[in-house]
Each structure stands twice: as structure tokens, then as C-alpha cells.
Amino acid sequence: MQPATVRVWDPLVRIFHWSLAILFFFAFLTGDEWDKPHEIAGYIVGGLVVFRILWGLVGSRHARFSDFVYRPSTVIAFLKDSLRFRAGRYLGHNPAGGAMVIALLLAIAVICVTGYMMTLDAWWGVEWVEEVHEAAANTTLVLVGLHLLGVMLASFEHRENLVRAMFTGRKRTD
């Protein structure tokens, strides 16, 4: 018998999540070789980030920042418990997941702003702008890797497939 489930991730959150993942990697892979598609992907990513910030303020319950932004001490305590396989299960984002959402949004926003700056005459060829853009992209790759490790750890620890939940929008109720 299948366990009871509840809708957690609304369609807009799921579309945002997978679109951002695909477009970020497309932009990352085309950055040095294919300028126009890279820029177009960057503009779309920037729009997605703006959308997610707005949806984090007015969206569905588990999409709102108020549902998953915790104090740093709560995040640290959760991470310690998680490494001991004693972390509590959350229906929405857990404290570490919430911190990762914020970190990823900030890093990607830096990528978008510096990328846009590089298209303007005032900033074109300015070395520090390009360096910040590249550093933010590389930092985002590291954050994505940590995000994936966290998803695997939480899926194992709580015996649920979080990747499937981000496709279906549903998680078990218990």
C-alpha cells in the first residue's frame, strides 16, 4: 500500500526549479564559446530569479521564504543532526535546504547582474566585473554540488525520493 501524500511544491516552483537548473548549466557550458545563446539564457535566468523572489513573498505556503528561512543557529544545528542521521523531517524545505535556496538565489543574482554589466559600454572589459561573474558561476557550481549531496542525504535519511517530489510536487504525509 502506498503511503498518503500531500502536495508540497506547486507547479510554478517545480517549473522554476527545473528551468533554472537546465538554463544555468546551458549558460555555464556556453559561456566562453557561444555568446548570444549564453546571454539569452542569462536574461531568462535573471527573470526566473526575479519571479522566485516575488513567489517567495506571495506564493504558496511552502514556496514562501517565511516557511523555510531559519536562523543560522537552527541551520547549523540541523546540519549537525543530519550528519548524525538524527535530523527532523520537514514537509517543505528543511533549514539546510532553505539556506541553500537563499545562497543559490544570491549567487545566481550576482551572475546575472555582472553578466548584464558586461554588456554595457560602461562596464565592458572591466576586469573585476568579469572576475566576479566567473567566481559567482564557479561558486554556484559548488553550491549545486552541495545541494545535490544534501538532497541525497535527506532522501536516504528520511527514506523518501526528494527528486521525485520535485517532479510530482508531492511528499508523504508522515
The CATH number assigned to the domain holding 31 equals 1.20.950.20
Number of domains making up the chain: 1
Q: Which domain holds residue 153?
A: 5-172
Residue 126: per-residue pLDDT: 87
Residue 130: per-residue pLDDT: 93
Query: What's the whole-model pTM score?
Result: 0.90
List CB contacts of 33: < 8 A, sequence separation 6 or more: none
In this structure, the chain runs to a length of 174
pLDDT in tens, 62-77: 999 999 999 999 999 9
Residue 32: per-residue pLDDT: 75
Residue 135: per-residue pLDDT: 97
Residue 155: per-residue pLDDT: 92
pLDDT in tens, 131-143: 999 999 999 999 9
Whether residue 169 contacts residue 11, with contact meaning beta carbons closer than 8 Å, is answered with: yes
State which residues of the chain have pLDDT below 70: none
Q: Report the alpha-carbon distance of residue 37 to residue 31 in Å, rounded.
A: 9
Q: Closest Cα partner for 93 from 150, 48, 42, 132? A: 150
Residue 148: per-residue pLDDT: 96
Residue 113: per-residue pLDDT: 96
Looking from the CA of 169 toward its CB, the CA atoms found within 13 Å total: 13
Q: Report the alpha-carbon distance of residue 46 to residue 42 in Å, rounded.
A: 6
